[in-house]
Structures are given as C-alpha cells and as structure tokens.
Amino acid sequence: MGTSSDFYTSIAEWYDIEHDALTEDAECFLSLLALPASGRARILDIGSGTGRIAVALALGGHEVTCIEPSEAMRTRCAARLARLPERVARRVTVLPGRATALGLDTAQRFDTAVLGLHLLGHLTTANERHSALTGIGRQLVSGGQMLVDVDLLGPRRLYETARQMWWQGTWQLSERGEEISHFVTGVAGPTSGMLEVIHFYDHTTQSGVVRRTAARMSLAMLSRGEVEVALLRAGYGIEAIYGGYDLTPYDDGAPRAIFDARLMADR
C-alpha cells in the first residue's frame, strides 16, 4: 500500500476516469454566468484540476484562467487541452497557484470566479477562507461574480459514520480485467468542524494482483450559514443560494449549496 503527502499526485492517473462523467456542475455554472456586454466572460477557475469544468466553459465561448497547485493535475489538463480544437484550447490558460496565493498580475481582472467541487472546504480555517475570498475579489471587476459549490452531505456523512468504508465506484481500465476501485472513509480531524478523509484506490492488474494506493486529505465540514457569513465578510452580496445543480432553491435538507454572489462596490 502506497501513500503520498500530495493527494492529487498520487491519484491523478485515475481522476478523470471517475469524474469525467460529471457534467451537471459545469452546466450549472454556465447557466448562472453573469455575462458582460460582449457575451463572453473572463473566468477564473480556482482549483481547476484536470480542466473538466474549464473546458466546458471554454466550449461555451468564454476565456478561462485556471489556477491549480498540483503539477500532476496540470499535466493532465494540458493533455486534455491538446485533444481540443485549437480555437477552444487557446481560450484556456493554466497556471500554478493556490486559492490563497493566486500568483496573478494585480492588474488582471475577471468577470466571474468559480470555486467548484467543495474547493472552499479544502481551506480548513476561517482565516484561510477569508484570505482566499478577499484575494480573489481583488482580481474581479467591480460587481464581479463569485460562484461557489459546497458539498454539505458528503463530509457530514463521513463524519457520522467514522471509519466506515464507502464504495465510490469501480471502473474498467482494459478489456482484460484491469480495473480501479475507489473507497473512502473519514475520521474526525484535530479541531472542531474538521474531517480527515482517507481515499483508497485498489488497482486490479491483468494478472489479478491488487495494488492499493491510500491518499489523505483534510476537509472543513461547512454549513450554508458559515459560507454565507464568509462571503459577506469578504465583501460579497448573496444573489441566490441553490440546493443542487438543477438550481432547486436551497432548503435545510439540500445535499449541496450553490452560491451566486457579487462583489459589493463598497468592499
């Protein structure tokens, strides 16, 4: 069993197999974009991974700047872009950086920032989240848009079923029996509201040998209220909160919270 301190480096080769079937979030973001007069938004995609959401936005005609800390994920994103028509691929720029240290020219401005797939939960302290949200705000145009996707159900389910193994799926890698299976479990973190998540990837080879890779990450278990307060404190006004990618209005039983917020002029 192998382990790695860099979660995404250790699982990058299997990430797209598991996630490429997910299109609802990108479709949701496309439908929520507050478009400038040109009809083409300049979008900042934070924690862009292998570029799944960024490519969907670029296919919609928008200019996307991706910020991704993992070199392995950026490499896979480059491979994804290489498979696209050049007119689409050139709309996507991929840069190293983090939510709290974007590394952008201070003069750059974007119409919309996207924080997808519980990215905000990877920032495990309120100070980190505030630093990220305010830093991103400095790169937005006046009244710029912030779209935030928060997973409410997943982290809490892991916390409430501590050490129980949850099967995420099995995917075939070849026609001769090679496959990858993903399991996940969680335990309470060292501080209140924090979760330690352990992912297990079992790679069954063509000879039947199973090789396990374990990868650990820390997540904040965020509530709708915590995220709303964080956005308000960082200078954003809340336009709407949805309970899912189908834009169902948020209620207390919603599995997700999708925030559509705007940078306030007097921040």
Tell me the per-residue pLDDT of 16-46, one tens digit each, with 9 for 90 and over.
999 999 999 999 999 999 999 999 999 999 9
pLDDT(1) > 80: no
| C-beta of residue 235 within 8 angstroms of C-beta of residue 264 | yes
Predicted pLDDT of residue 267: 57
pLDDT(209) > 50: yes
Predicted pLDDT of residue 6: 65
Predicted pLDDT of residue 207: 86
Identify the band that residue 129 occupies on the pLDDT scale cut at 50, 70 and 90: very high
Mean pLDDT (whole number) for 177-182: 93
Tell me the per-residue pLDDT of 144-167, one tens digit each, with 9 for 90 and over.
999 999 999 999 999 999 999 999
| C-beta of residue 251 within 8 angstroms of C-beta of residue 243 | yes
Identify the band that residue 65 occupies on the pLDDT scale cut at 50, 70 and 90: very high
Which string of b and e fits 117-151 if b means at least 16 CB within 10 Å?
Answer: bbbbbbbbeeebbbbbbebbbebbeeebbbbbbbb
What percent of the chain has a predicted confidence (pLDDT) above 70?
Answer: 97
Mean pLDDT (whole number) for 228-242: 98
68, 70, 136, 73: which is closest to 106 by C-alpha?
A: 136
| C-beta of residue 147 within 8 angstroms of C-beta of residue 32 | yes
| C-beta of residue 198 within 8 angstroms of C-beta of residue 184 | yes
Rg, Å, the chain Cα set: 19
Mean pLDDT (whole number) for 78-95: 97
Q: What is the set of domains in the chain, with CATH numbers? A: 8-151+222-263 (3.40.50.150), 155-220 (2.20.25)
Predicted pLDDT of residue 189: 86
Mean pLDDT (whole number) for 207-211: 90
pLDDT(7) > 70: yes
Phi and psi based region of residue 21 (left: phi greater than 0; alpha: psi -120 to 50; beta: remaining)? alpha
Residues 85, 79: Cα–Cα separation, whole Å: 12
Q: What is the value of pTM for the model shown? A: 0.94
Cβ neighbours for 96, distance < 8 A, ≥ 6 positions apart: 67, 68, 69, 71, 74, 103
Residues 69, 73: Cα–Cα separation, whole Å: 8
Predicted pLDDT of residue 3: 37
Amino acid (1-letter code) at residue 124: T
Identify the band that residue 266 occupies on the pLDDT scale cut at 50, 70 and 90: low
Predicted pLDDT of residue 115: 98
More reliable by pLDDT, 191 or 51: 51
